[in-house]
């Protein structure tokens, strides 16, 4: 039986998703400030980078509601209070929320949209679920490195990138200040987690340097 969009569960789920993405964007922006205050500049940048992607998700869901412009959609929903002073807890809670979206919430929303016959919406939920899984993975790795004191040092030689100047440092430990730009070590990030380029590209560049 065909369901009209204005009477659908899908329109409510889109509004729930818009609310959830909007809140995630703000939570990450606030988390970025906390990380920055603790001199974890690279982690702060990752929160901002991710916040901007949540804005893009919010926009996609909001665009799919465009036909209902002028209407008010009333929803209920649960939203997390993840206001922590420790960056590791901010990362862990972010990982948890991203995973829940990826594996549970957006799968259910996608299936419901499919059942109601809104295939474009269903595909947006499934596509964005995949991105949230990548977010979860990245936040989880960072949380784990911080928690086990392996963010700035490791047993075997590794590589880190200074996100301020792009310097790639090889060794067992990140120096107190970047030897190139002289900024604090908080700008360094393990190279595999630097989000701006393919690691393979970094490697060939750094080998030739």
**Binding region for Fe ion (CB under 5 A):** 21, 54, 57, 98, 132, 135
Q: Which is closer to Fe ion, CB of 58 or CB of 161?
A: 58
Find the shortest distance in angstroms from Cβ 102 to Fe ion. Answer: 8
Q: How many residues does the chain have?
A: 209
Q: Which is closer to Fe ion, CB of 116 or CB of 132?
A: 132
Q: Which is closer to Fe ion, CB of 16 or CB of 135?
A: 135
Find the shortest distance in angstroms from Cβ 170 to Fe ion. Answer: 31
Strand ranges for 75-191 from DSSP E: 153-162, 168-173, 188-190
Find the shortest distance in angstroms from Cβ 42 to Fe ion. Answer: 18
CB atoms under 10 Å from CB of 70, counted, come to: 4
The burial class, CB within 10 Å (0-12 / 13-18 / 19+), for 148 is exposed
Q: Which is closer to Fe ion, CB of 11 or CB of 57?
A: 57
Find the shortest distance in angstroms from Cβ 49 to Fe ion. Answer: 11
End-to-end CA separation in angstroms for the chain: 64
């Amino acid at each position: 039986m065909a369901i009209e969009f204005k009477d659908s569960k899908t329109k409510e789920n889109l509004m729930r998703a818009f609310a959830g993405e909007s809140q995630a964007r703000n939570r990450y922006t606030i988390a970025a400030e906390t990380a920055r205050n603790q001199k974890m500049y690279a982690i702060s940048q990752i929160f901002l980078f991710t916040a901007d992607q949540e804005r893009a998700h919010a926009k996609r869901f909001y665009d799919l509601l465009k036909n209902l412009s002028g209407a008010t959609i009333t929803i209920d929903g649960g939203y997390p209070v993840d206001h922590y002073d420790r960056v590791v807890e901010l990362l862990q809670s972010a990982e948890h929320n991203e995973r829940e979206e990826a594996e549970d919430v957006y799968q259910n929303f996608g299936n419901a949209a499919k059942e109601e016959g809104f295939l474009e919406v269903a595909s947006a939920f499934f596509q964005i679920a995949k991105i949230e899984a990548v977010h979860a993975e990245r936040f989880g790795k960072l949380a784990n490195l911080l928690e086990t004191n392996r963010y700035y040092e490791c047993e075997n030689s590794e590589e880190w990138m200074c996100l301020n100047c792009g310097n790639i440092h090889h060794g067992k430990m990140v120096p107190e200040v970047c030897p190139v730009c002289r900024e604090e070590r908080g700008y360094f990030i393990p190279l595999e987690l630097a989000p701006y380029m393919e690691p393979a590209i970094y490697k060939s560049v750094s080998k030739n340097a």
